[in-house]
Amino acid sequence: MTTETPARVRFAPSPTGVMHIGGLRTALYDWFLARKTGGQFILRIEDTDRNRYDPDAEWHIKESLKWLGLDLDEGPEIGGPYAPYTQSERLQLYQDAAERLIASGDAYYDDTTPEELAALRQRQQAAGQPPGYDNRGRYRTAEQIQESRDKGLEVVVRFKVPDHGELQVEDEVRGRLKFDLSLLQDFVILKSDGFPTYHLAHVVDDYEMGITHVIRGEEWIPSCPRHVLIQRALGISTPKYVHVPLITAQDGAKLSKRHGAQSALEYRDAGYTPDAVLNYLALLGWSPGDDTEVMSRSEIASRFEIERILSHPAKFSAQKLEWMNQQHIMKADEDELAEMMMPYLERPEEEGGLLEEIDRPIDRSIVRAMVPVLRERIKVLPDVIELIDFLFVDEVQPNPEEMIGRRMDEEMVFTSLNASIQALESLETFDGEAIEQALRGLTQSTGLKAGQLFTPIRVAVTAKRIAPPLFESIEVLGRERTIERLQRGLAIFSNYAGNRDD
RNA sequence: GCCCCGUUGGUGCAGCGGCCUAGCACGUCGGCCUUUCAAGCCGGAGAUCACGGGUUCGAAUCCCGUACGGGGUACCA
């Protein structure tokens, strides 16, 4: 492995809503790079838009990172050498930077009102011209600005973009990007409320915090020259830029509510494991270079390379995610898997948990015992519920009709039930192996085929047509309850068969 | 409109000038196994590598156009 210098990377979301999986994927790449190079993974909250601020968002972001297991080295609350890590607490820094830019002639105060801007835009549209600021504020005098201030008009600070020239930016994914500066208008760096815009704030912070790699979505490419311009004017270094491709929905459009779950925690609630989501997301925009798909987080972290990040957008496939989840469930440690299943079983019935009548906390030893046969039968964790609920209730309600399987008659049902009751009663040790031996032996003595023998038993014991393997189920249910159910099944079936004959 | 990025089977990737009669995975179809359901195993269908020009002895791979898709064009990030 090549020796790499430790990367300092930051995940810098804006607290404006739930954490989208696109953002999560970016955080993932940050984390992988930090872990692989032995660097730091930093969380920075970019709350410079007071209008869109959502007080719940920060919690949601942290909860999402925690769930995925992306541990932070620095961030709000936990702190770090560059605290604070919330931009609204760092305003002085941005204001100082803006003043420095004004002093050097790279920025200026602008009192153009929103109304004027709107009117300008309208005129441009009417004239068929491209909309954009016309840099009119460049020519304001200090006196004019003061006058506006006295009148109570709002003043912003704009960055002065060179009128012409080409600016090149090195992107780690796409190579050299070129931009024509004559097409870029002067842009706001400090808003009239004293808050910085993204452009100023993140450039200042990335520098202050020693960020080495800026990993962000490709929607930032067009404004990248602004960032480099600010850096040059401030005389600070440019970090490595890593613009990662977008994640789109099946129809190629931006992922949204319409396309199924979008927030990280929704996937948690739906029963996806963190490892599977992490694995799947990692592959959406990156590949290890060979055909390996199912990987542990440490394997991904060690194989992760910026050079292998893709430059084209990836479509999110819920189907493949399901498969990935299944793969991780099948590879998981059995004790851990049982623990992972518990919350889904325990949650209230109306939230998809076990029936209300079943007392909580539920018996985890039952779940644990069934894990080996459950794991390859579920795609998401809550799938276990309908597979094993019969083990938790006192009584089941088998449908006698279902006891008559394919190529079976009533007589066979009676034979199966009677013979199995007898066989199980006389068993010395009641474990899966003994149960299997005893019941399989019955095919000889009764002349029934396996399917004919087991179908009535399955229905009587589980009241299901689709159930986990029988022998394990019976072992976990216990001799007494199994026999009880077989007898009750027999009674129900007799009643059914009797009525049917009449 | 203008600017930027992208384009390999339905989907996600491999491919970084000859080993490609384009490989893997998901999905799909058929079979085997089998106490149900899964899992597993075997096999099939599915791509003129968006299109058109170059460069080269040779291009999915390099260059240029076109088309299509996406992104940006805010006192939002």
So what's the ipTM on this one? Answer: 0.93
Among A228, A244, A260, identify where a domain stops.
A244
d(C-alpha A336, C-alpha A13), whole Å = 31
Q: Are residues A384 and A430 in the same domain?
A: no
For residue A311, what are the domain limits?
8-87+247-318
> The domain that contains A198 carries what CATH number?
3.40.50.620
- DSSP letter for A75, please: B
Active site (annotated) includes residue A240: no
Q: Is the CB of A443 under 7 A from strand B?
A: no
Q: Are residues A77 and A135 in the same domain?
A: no
Q: Is residue A186 part of a domain?
A: yes
Which residues in range 156-175 of chain A are in contact with strand B, contact meaning CB within 7 A of any of its atoms? 156, 174
Give burial (CB, 10 Å; 0-12/13-18/19+) of A298.
exposed
Quick check: A337 and A274 in contact, CB under 8 A? Answer: no
Q: How far is CA A92 from the centre of its chain?
A: 35
Among A244, A262, A284, identify where a domain stops.
A244
Q: Is the CB of A468 under 7 A from strand B?
A: yes
The structure tokens 């992922």 sit at A255
The first and second tokens of residue A443, run together, are 């095919």
Q: Is the CB of A308 under 7 A from strand B?
A: yes
CA of A23 to C1' of B12 (A): 19
Q: Is the CB of A248 under 7 A from strand B?
A: yes
Q: Is A160 left (phi over 0), alpha (psi -120 to 50) or beta?
A: beta
Q: Are residues A137 and A238 in the same domain?
A: yes
Quick check: A229 and A160 in contact, CB under 8 A? Answer: no
Question: Cα separations (Å) of A368 from A334, A342, A472?
Answer: 7, 10, 12
Helix (H) or strand (E) holding A278: helix A274-283
Q: Which nucleotide is nearest to A470 (CA to C1')?
A: B35
Work out the angle between the directed axes of helices A450-462 and A470-477 (0-180°, nearest 10). 40
The first and second tokens of residue A91, run together, are 């305003």
The low-confidence residues of chain A, meaning pLDDT below 50, are 1-2
Count CB-CB contacts under 10 A for residue A484.
17
Of A77, A75, A186, A82, the C-alpha closest to A132 is A186
The one-letter amino acid code at A465 reads R
Q: Which nucleotide is nearest to A185 (CA to C1')?
A: B73
d(C-alpha A88, C-alpha A49), whole Å = 9
Q: Are residues A236 and A95 in the same domain?
A: yes
Q: Is residue A2 part of a domain?
A: no
Quick check: A287 and A300 in contact, CB under 8 A? Answer: no
d(C-alpha A88, C-alpha A45), whole Å = 9
Radius of gyration, CA atoms only, chain A: 32
- Given this model, what pLDDT does residue A259 score? 57
Q: Are residues A441 and A297 in the same domain?
A: no
Q: Which nucleotide is nearest to A314 (CA to C1')?
A: B12
d(C-alpha A9, C-alpha A212), whole Å = 6
Q: Is residue A486 part of a domain?
A: yes
Q: Are residues A154 and A235 in the same domain?
A: yes
Query: Looking at strand B, which nucleotides approach a protein CB closer than 7 A?
Result: 1-8, 10-16, 23-27, 34-39, 69-77
Quick check: A421 and A490 in contact, CB under 8 A? Answer: yes
- Given this model, what pLDDT does residue A153 score? 92
Q: Is residue A291 part of a domain?
A: yes
> The domain that contains A411 carries what CATH number?
1.10.10.350
> DSSP for A356-410?
TTS-SS--HHHHHHHHHHHGGG-SSTTHHHHHHGGGTSS-----HHHHS-TT--H
Q: Are residues A356 and A476 in the same domain?
A: no
Q: Are residues A287 and A419 in the same domain?
A: no
Is the dihedral angle over the CA atoms A300, A304, A308, A311 positive or is it negative?
positive
Q: Are residues A28 and A103 in the same domain?
A: no
Q: Is residue A330 part of a domain?
A: no
- Starting at the earlier edge strand, list the strands of the sheet with A240-244: A40-43, A8-11, A213-217, A240-244, A166-171, A175-180
Among A318, A345, A376, identify where a domain stops.
A318
Work out the angle between the directed axes of helices A224-234 and A198-208 (0-180°, nearest 10). 50
SS3 of residue A291 by DSSP? coil
Q: Which nucleotide is nearest to A196 (CA to C1')?
A: B75
- Given this model, what pLDDT does residue A262 score? 74
Residues paired with A244 in a beta bridge: A217
d(C-alpha A411, C-alpha A76), whole Å = 71
Q: Are residues A78 and A96 in the same domain?
A: no
Residues paired with A248 in a beta bridge: A254, A315
Q: Going by C-beta distance under 8 Å and a sequence separation of 6 or more, which residues neighbour residue A368?
A: A334, A335, A338
- Starting at the earlier edge strand, list the strands of the sheet with A107-110: A107-110, A156-159, A187-190
Q: Is residue A325 part of a domain?
A: no
Q: Is residue A273 part of a domain?
A: yes
- Given this model, what pLDDT does residue A502 score? 62
**Total domains, chain A:** 4
Q: Is residue A48 part of a domain?
A: yes
- The residue from A62, A151, A240, A257 that is catalytic is A257
Q: For A31-73, what is the HEC assignment?
A: HHHHHHHCCEEEECECCCCCCCCCCCHHHHHHHHHHHHCCCCC
- Given this model, what pLDDT does residue A1 score? 43
The one-letter amino acid code at A494 reads S
- Given this model, what pLDDT does residue A261 score? 57
Q: Are residues A288 and A382 in the same domain?
A: no
Q: Are residues A172 and A192 in the same domain?
A: yes
